[in-house]
Structure 1
Amino acid sequence: MLRAARILSIALAASLLAGPLPAQDHFTPVERREAVGNTIRIGWSARASNEATAQLAATVMQRRLGYQVRLVLADTAFLYSALAAGKLDVMLGSWQPDAHATYLEAIEGRVEDLGVLYDGARLGWVVPDTPASAGIISMSDLSRADVRERVDGRIRGGEAGTAVMALSQRALEVYGLDGYRLEPSNDAGPSLTLKRAITRGETAVAVGRRPHWVFGVYDLRFLDDPAGALGGPQRVHVLARDGFAADHPWASAVLGRMWLALADVEALIASGRERGYADAAARYLDGSRARADYWVHGRIE
């Protein structure tokens, strides 16, 4: 019931953003027929980065193109399966090449990749960047007895069953961290663990990802991963159901041209946490008119 209510509230918030198309947007009759009266279903999982970018795409689709948009909140595994089954049109949070490799293998050939939304994303283990973490530079340092004692032999994870938790379990084996416990929690668990350690002047290890709001609030750093157990830099792609580009060539082209710097994503997250993600998306587009014009028209004027 709570999930359904949240989906409804998100859809209503998105619909409130719909308004008359800007006067300088001149569309062909074909483009108008494609958009007017049609709905695009955009899926997102419960991560701030996914909510921020999904809301941004929804705002572009509605305010600049004239589509109706339905935002669908679900877990990552469901989003991939729903996209492959044609029950969703678009998702903007496909982490490649490592983080979502298992999901991508399962749906190979049944979705369309519209391109990279942003790059420089990262998964890893995070510690406070404070004196309490001195000497803990690499994941391999965790194998030392003195370090294990300082962090209480614990690595605070996020939700069980997620890709980063599976990679973290593999990392324990790669680095021979037999005396450690990988403790699942919820999405807020790692951030709370790091906050508590900083407040107490201690250190801790938590599973982390970037972009994430926590890096804008606390001094944190990733541990080096010389074995590449958690993968390298990630590119976040926009995926669509099979046939989406043929059904909606204009929307497909616009989504394919959307690109953000990592700093833009983190700014959207920070603004969204303060004002709400619908308002953050509208403010971003108002302040980035030339970029939004390029996304919509495919030309720089």
Structure 2
Amino acid sequence: MHFSIKCKWILPLSLSALVISACGNGGQEDGQAEEGQGAEDENGEIELTYVAWESEVASNNVIALVLEEAGYDVNLNQVEQAIMWQSVAQGDADGFVAGWLPSDMATDYERYGDEMIDLGPNLEGNRTGLAVPDYMDVTSIEEVHSDNFDEITGIDAGAGVVDSTEQAIEAYDLDISVQTSSDAAMTAALGNAMENEEPIVVTAWEPHWKFNTYDIRFLEDPEGIYEEEEEIRTMVREGLEEDEPEAYQILDNFYWETDDMNEVMLDIAENEMEPRDAAQAWIDDNRDMVDEWLDTDIQE
């Protein structure tokens, strides 16, 4: 059994660091087989799609290894956010565990949600917004202006948090723009700024390892542009339950906490572990939870 990671779109240079992290991890070439770690009887092939965020690198590597244990070959495909939704709606991919809702990916959910199966949250209590280092005197989005920041450092264009930031710029009448880049580029810029105690404001979401590594905080949002209580949902294609009932039930059972996701992300970011190795370490340390995900009513 194996899972492979494919990138189906051309990445800008700013994403090169994440390609190394998300696409080349595990030291295997695309499609190269790797020995599995679970069931001897092989099931079908499952294709999961995800966006290039470190939170989703963590969750996808974990759930891929769990599906491997059940005997599946798993392909992980990194794509743009809209394509993630479109591919599952059209049945080109089996599902994703990266649906940030109800607001962050609301546009995609409204467009494609009726064409797929919503299995509900796999993580709750996450949030998005704008964040700054603790050494900044700014406390509210209302105070984000060109006299204290050059720009807002964002992630990939089309991401929900970037769209919300564009709305915030208009709602708060800010004389500043958001510069899109990538998750990796944004966190690198944040680290560089904090090392020199320079001003910076970034698009942010939690869970994310940067909140454990850096002394940063969300800015107050009096207009309520960003949701303070979001959830990450699992979405699968229509027909998956009939085609691969065990995989469907495992994906339906998948649920963990913010601390769990942060643990995997921190191993990748700070301990320089490969995503697959970090995911396996978390699985080994949380065997009871993983066994609950694998507990299905499918007869051997």
Q: TM-score range by the shorter chain?
A: 0.7 to 0.9
**1:19 alignment partner in structure 2:** 37
> How far 1:11 sits from its partner (Å)?
5.5
- The question of whether the paired residues in 2 share the 8 Å contact of 1:11 and 1:69 is answered with no
- The question of whether the paired residues in 2 share the 8 Å contact of 1:11 and 1:71 is answered with no
Aligned residues: 275
Distance 2:35 2:105 in 1: 31
Where does the alignment leave 5 or more consecutive residues of structure 1 unmatched?
A: 23-31
Distance 1:84 1:17 in 2: 31
**2:164 alignment partner in structure 1:** 167
> How far 1:284 sits from its partner (Å)?
1.2
Q: Secondary structure at the match of 2:113?
A: coil
Q: What is the CA RMSD across the aligned residues, in angstroms?
A: 2.4
> How far 1:17 sits from its partner (Å)?
5.2
**1:290 and 2:292 correspond:** no
Alignment of 1:84-233 (within 5 A): 84-130=89-135, 133-134=136-137, 136-142=138-144, 148-152=146-150, 154-177=151-174, 179-233=175-229
Bigger share in helix: 1
Identity %: 27
Q: Secondary structure at the match of 2:147?
A: helix
Q: Return closer, same or farther for 1:186/1:287 CA change in 2, 3 Å cut-off.
A: closer
**1:45 alignment partner in structure 2:** 51
1:253 to 243, 249, 252: 249
**1:262 and 2:258 correspond:** yes
- The question of whether the paired residues in 1 share the 8 Å contact of 2:246 and 2:296 is answered with no
Output the amino acid matched with 2:122. Answer: L
Where does the alignment leave 5 or more consecutive residues of structure 2 unmatched?
A: 1-5, 9-18
**1:243 alignment partner in structure 2:** 239
**2:61 alignment partner in structure 1:** 55
Question: TM-score under structure 2 normalisation?
Answer: 0.84
Q: Return closer, same or farther for 1:188/1:37 CA change in 2, 3 Å cut-off.
A: closer
Which structure's CA Rg is the greater one?
Answer: 1
Distance 2:266 2:143 in 1: 32
- The question of whether the paired residues in 1 share the 8 Å contact of 2:263 and 2:282 is answered with no
Q: Return closer, same or farther for 1:191/1:37 CA change in 2, 3 Å cut-off.
A: closer
2:86 to 81, 87, 110: 81
Q: Secondary structure at the match of 1:272?
A: helix
